[in-house]
Structure 1
Amino acid sequence: MPRSQPAIPICPPFPISGILRAARRRSDLSQRELARAAKVSAATVGRSESGTILPSINTFATLLAAAGFFLAVVDPDGNVLQPMKTRDDLRDGAERLYPAHLDVIPDPEPGEWWADIYGLARPPETFYRDRRRRDYQRRLSQWQVRVSKHRHLPEPRLHHYRDAP
């Protein structure tokens, strides 16, 4: 049975020009003063505020920072998304970062690596390839760590393919 994709929330067009104008007004800066502080041309500020151009995310963030503001990414509940930390000591055999959606397991125990069943040498770190197992591990961790939020719920259990919803 194919997995259904989660619905992507519909966001209205982002009002960059209005945000820039509001930030500049709150910081009491003229377009020239903001441009000087952000090290961009005054034309860039003016055209961005008028909606004539769509500034890059870097330019937008630089203009906001010069006005004393910053960008944040939030989920539908308003929680700020923190960036992932990159550990240079956790890389695969080709020195690449592991995919962001996988939970890396440093120093895996016997049975934690997917290729243990083939008798291959265990790597210094690995991850669970089975999405159901990864999802279970995350649910269990949330249940254990956020006791006050999840105390009324039964402990999550690992669904096997035959009894999956």
Structure 2
Amino acid sequence: MTTEDAPLADLGRTVRALRREADLSQRELARRSGVPQATIARIESGRATDPRFHTVERLVRAVGGTLTVALPVEPASSVAPTTAPTSAPTSALTAASVAEVTCALPPVPHDDLRDTAGRRYPAHLDVWPVREPKDWPGAWWADWYNLPPPLWPLRLPPAAYERNRGHRDRRRAAERVRRDVRVRWVDGDGRPATTWRFVAELPDGTLLGELRAHERDLHLVRGDDGDWPRELVLDGVLVAAGNRRIGIGDRLVAAMTRRMDETGIGLVRTVVEEHIAIRFLSACGFRVASARPLAMALRRPAGPAPRPPRPP
């Protein structure tokens, strides 16, 4: 097989993936690389099928990448030993040597979406399909979410995207955390065997969340030696600020329920006060136990008692 038979890399798709990784628009990449924006647009659309190598190198360097060309070398065992020099130059390649062009970057997730004019959406933005009015930020002002589609005053676009870079950076950071976070059971740290602890952390050890619980001894509660089932009391679920609402708390609770199944515990109880905690635990499957006692509190003044007025 010769190099002409080898599949060629999709340069346009690769450049779009580079721009997305660097979070650059075509105009910003053109300013950094010195390559005209029109040239970048032609490369990405496939209209510039054979750009100059120097042009590709400038684009890669502009996003902080490195362009590497590697050719596989035949193993020494497949080359017959020779005792006399040959007339072929040392840099010659055999017919079996094929250059393989690869791109380790993930592809642009919305690369197959098109707008109403058949154009691709900007590669560096986060694009999502629009199926109903709530998916379209351009319809936030319109009070027609509950109308049937025939009565919608505007036609929905195929997709929408967010231009705000700060919002985009926060969303991508949350995606990285959601992908990399791991939940593990903590054991052997000197706690009693009846206490449970799960932590959610990143590969570098950064702690993002924690769940603590303890087993409840019903023999002490009931005051007898009956054959009572094991119960668990959820002490709390904490998630670091800035990493909430991305599923870390759900994964901690799921890890707890899996261990409950493994140990034969079928009931977990807890007491909540804040509305956000009630909504979170309800989403995890908890239900209000109306037969339980009410939580009560007595609030006392924080400062010293006021002095009585002096007699006249």
Question: TM-score, normalising length from structure 1?
Answer: 0.46
Q: Which has the larger radius of gyration?
A: 2
Where is the strand percentage greater, Structure 1 or Structure 2? 2
Question: TM-score, normalising length from structure 2?
Answer: 0.27
Where is the helix percentage greater, Structure 1 or Structure 2? 1
